Structure 1
Amino acid sequence: MSIIDPRTGNPLTAEPTTNNAGNASASTERPSVTPEEVIIELSAGNIQQVLEASMQVPVLLGSYSPTSSTCTTLLSVLEKLAVEYAGAFLLAKLDIAANPEIGGQLGVSSVPDVKLVSQGGLVDGFQGALPEKEVREWLNRYFPAPGDAPPSPEDQAEEALSTGDAAAAREIYQSLVSQYPEHYAYQIGLARALVAEKRGDDARSVLDNLPPEERDAAPARGVRASIEFSEQALSTEEVAALGERNDSEAQYQRALRQVADGQYDAGLEALLALMKQDRAYNDDAARKTLLQVFDALGADHPLTVTYRRKLFALLY
């Protein structure tokens, strides 16, 4: 369904395209445009024309200060997306230092500030330098995403981690951290990449520098658990040297090695089996390690949900 402007009742966007199966598609192909066609520098001389243009096409008003690095970062994202969305909206950039009276008229209290205007009135907006992925998600509330949209840096980093290229993931997260130093999820992502590179001390340093509320939250605790798995687990060679041993210690060490290597499903299953067989082993180590793995994976991870249920069934 189309997005309706809450002030006028008029459609803000066109109906989504349909795919060959007749199902609604969230993305659409658009003709290419040049930056000059979709990006405008706003001033006292053209603001009236821009507002009038919003009667025909939505306008994104991006207020910024040229001396602010956070503004520069967000503005480059908005400029890229304006071209990528190829005319779905116009981007009107406002230098707030050069045009303070316009900023006052628009109700801009701090920069960066982004407002979506349609039919001459405000529809939505946000303040602060949101990361590109979040800006895309915000835009996609109102405009069908381009069908050829490239993967976000966050998606690229996660793909690199999943394929074992921890160095590439680290480089992406380092770049994101430098651009968005207060977006702490990127620092946690960087720590995860460092753990994958077996640089536990560097990962701890990143986590230790987080604000207390972030440092003690589940995502950071999960990365710390991953560091501990890597440090506590026997090496691959040491596990192989256990041979045919099947006592509780050997079972635990094999499970811990699997967890440290990211083989979470196998490791969780082995820890659960050890709990059933020898609950008292090493002061209930199997159960405690299961809980650490849940922290590392996150509460919403499918394996966490599955094995938390199995653990509950075993205990009660």
Structure 2
Amino acid sequence: MQPRNMSMSGVVDLAAVKAAGEAKQKAEQVRADAAERGDSAAPSGLVINVDEASFEAEVLQRSAEVPVVIDFWAEWCEPCKQLGPVLERLAQEYAGRFLLAKIDVDHNQMLFQQFGVQGIPAVFAVVAGQALPLFQGAAPEQQIRETLDQLIQVSEQRFGITGLQGVPEGDAEGAEAEGEEAPAAPEPPEDPALAAAHSALDAGDLNGAVQAYKNVLADEPGNTEARLGLAQAELLARVQDLDAQQVRKEAADQPTAVDVQLKAADLDLVGGHVEDAFGRIVETVKRTAGDDRERARLRLLELFEVIGADDPRVVTARSALARVLF
């Protein structure tokens, strides 16, 4: 099975906005409790076997302190045998910046179904209790590293989760044979205006976040992070007061009503149904003309920003849109 990339920026839900602030507080409390107990080092088990009975304690609770990467596998799965050792080695190398939880799907069908796994190996992450797909299939190691780096960055910036403390560093790629560790590159200081926008989004101040991102873009029109943040904030602002059940009923009853279809597409995307959201708007573009068509087209481009231009689902939807327009 070919690996299927999952863009981190494509995982958006309303609960995550509230969860971000709560997770930061919980992570700080976890670290404070550990310090009070005198725990100077993190648990040595960076790779753990998890089942349905231990899932809440080992995955959900610990995801407030460290990103938990889940490897869904089975003994009979040959690609799983290729991917598993790579993930285990990287868990040691990353030294507590993420925890690897291995779940045997043959013995944990409930978890398999709850995550909506369609094939194995499948890799998910849980951060602050929020589940998100990473990739499916035995992906190349460089791709896995890039995905993990992005996961760690999002966990820290959005949720204040920095991982386990006191774990010895593993053998980094490209390290000297003598065992010398290359000095870590210093983190560049974050733009204060962008940091203010992120903080507003994390706090659930969607109007403030929208304005803050617009302020950044006024000075830096090409700022990719600000464009993504603005698209996410505007999406969340649009859906926060919607009655999802009512909108979906109206969308089913009024397939040609542009406003209703756009609201339903926003809800689809927030709920993680990316292909459904894109397909709904492409069909709306196909059925409409003039200003209505242009409005639907522009909304689809905004949702592309939320997911990320390099996501294969965006590439597919762009092609579908082009076929409808031309």
Q: For this structure pair, what is the TM-score category when the shorter chain's length is used for normalisation?
A: 0.3 to 0.5
TM-score of the superposition, structure 2-length normalised? 0.39
In terms of Rg, which structure is larger? Answer: 1
Which protein has the bigger helix share?
A: 2
Pick 1 or 2: higher relative contact order, CA cutoff 8 A, min separation 6: 2
